[in-house]
Structure 1
């Protein structure tokens, strides 16, 4: 069976599950309702992602835990003084979608295996994928595009473009000032520093993992 055909079959099943799993999102809030000035562009709701297919059903909103939404609003306020705004590429990601992404990508360094360790922090509503836009909603130049699984996407920018470095530093400062930290291999990924309060049984999971268990991934 070809990879594309396998993906199509799994995708159809996942879409059916996603459309009926409303209970898991009851404690989450819509980022757009917390701060209307934050731009929402969910890449897994369209084809502009590593799979080349939408993973979310039509009308999917950018959901997150209420406290994390307030942190994002704080980051947005920080950016406004520099005439920039946040654009959210991903927020809460259902486990079914993470399973689908893992089946397609199979890149352990970048994509969290949903059956190992904590899985993806996105599935707990504690992480976002974010970039910058200017006052005219034009994308700020950044090291790479979304879902670029290359060394160029590292958190620490090693390129020579001063504007890219400036934009990335500004994004990182805005998020750090509001209790987020970044992911080493994805410059766009940010997790609230308080994530342990929201991940169920994280202490039990931590104790059950081997010493070489990687830190939470995307």
Structure 2
């Protein structure tokens, strides 16, 4: 009887794994630039300036997300425009094969999700983006860290003392929070659509870390001063 029970469980898990793979393969995605051409796209994994130190995407790879994510990014961009800033996307949908390469580079790093554990990275479901700011002319603005700088300085809640950097981060968080995104406390640039569970199979959603389950909902209530250029 125990053999039958173990065998049955193994079959069920195998079926769920196949269904999960099928669900990911069928993800409907849209190109962010086709929805709002004013959003700046600079996919860091298309070049060497990232955690892996090499290009993981082919040149010209578009920034893809779920249609609902794209519409919320449009709202964030409109909000930022009031202050003469723009949204810049560093990463969007990330194929599971690319997530596996990142895991190989940093498998002992708590910041990188194992693609074979639970839901893996929210990027692989098309429900997360890595984003920063530029000014209205697409010029660099000061932020806490660069992309993929996985250090305490990259925390969601700014640890530094520069008022301009703090202002920029606050503005980004307000724009994303009011548009229906949550943040990740270890990466100020990482944003997840608030209803991500709608797009992730239930069995895998249950295995998502508590930190993401609870998430941070303080963006829209952040009252720090915003400085415009």
TM-score normalised by structure 1 residue count = 0.83
Would you say the 8 A contact 2:30–2:70 is kept in 1? yes
Q: For 1:32 and 1:70, how far apart are their aligned partners in 2?
A: 11
What's the counterpart of residue 15 of structure 1?
A: none
Distance, in Å, in 2 between the alignment partners of 1:139 and 1:39 is: 12
Contact 2:33 2:63 in 1 (8 A): yes
Other structure's SS at 2:62 match? coil
Q: Hey, what's the Cα distance between the residues in 2 that align with 1:163 and 1:169?
A: 10
Instruction: Describe the SS at the equivalent of 2:183.
Output: strand
- Note if contact 2:27-2:125 (Cα within 8 Å) is conserved in structure 1: no
Mapping for residues 184-199 of structure 1, pairs under 5 Å? 184-199=185-200
- CA offsets per residue over residues 135-160 of structure 1, 9 Å max, x none? 11112100000000100000000100
1 CA distance for matches of 2:47 and 2:212? 25
Aligned residue number for residue 76 of structure 1: 77
The answer to whether the Cα contact below 8 Å between 2:144 and 2:153 also exists between their aligned partners in 1 is yes
Q: Deviations over 1:103-127 (max 9, x none)?
A: 0012442111111121000000000
Q: Secondary structure at the match of 2:158?
A: coil
Residues 216, 117 of structure 1: alpha-carbon distance in 2 compared, 3 angstrom cutoff: farther
Any unmatched runs of 5+ in structure 2? Answer: 1-23, 214-229
In structure 1, C-alpha distance between the alignment counterparts of 2:26 and 2:134, rounded to whole Å: 28
Partner residue in 2 for 1:205 = 204
TM superposition shift of 1:24: 3.2
Query: d(CA) in 2 for partners of 1:25 and 1:145?
Result: 33
Deviation at 1:215, TM superposition (A): 4.0
Measured at CA, do residues 85 and 189 of structure 1 come closer, stay the same or move farther in structure 2, by a change above 3 Å?
A: same
Structure 1's consecutive aligned runs of 4 or more residues displaced over 3 angstroms after TM superposition are 23-26, 212-217
Aligned to 2:51: 50
Mapped to 1, the partners of 2:111 and 2:83 lie a distance apart of: 31
Q: Is the 8 A contact 2:93 2:123 kept in 1?
A: yes
Structure 2 length normalisation: TM-score?
0.79
Match of 2:148 in 1: 147
> Does the aligned pair in 2 maintain the 1:120–1:216 contact within 8 Å?
no
Q: Which has the larger radius of gyration?
A: 2
Report the Cα distance in structure 1 between the residues aligned to 2:185 and 2:38, rounded to whole angstroms: 28
**Uncovered stretches (5+) of structure 1, i.e. residues with no partner:** 1-22
Q: 1:170-190, CA deviations, whole angstroms, 9 ceiling, x for partnerless residues? A: 000000000001001000000
- Rate the CA distance shift 1:162–1:94 in 2: closer, same or farther, 3 A: same
For 1:120 and 1:133, the matched residues in 2 are separated by: 26
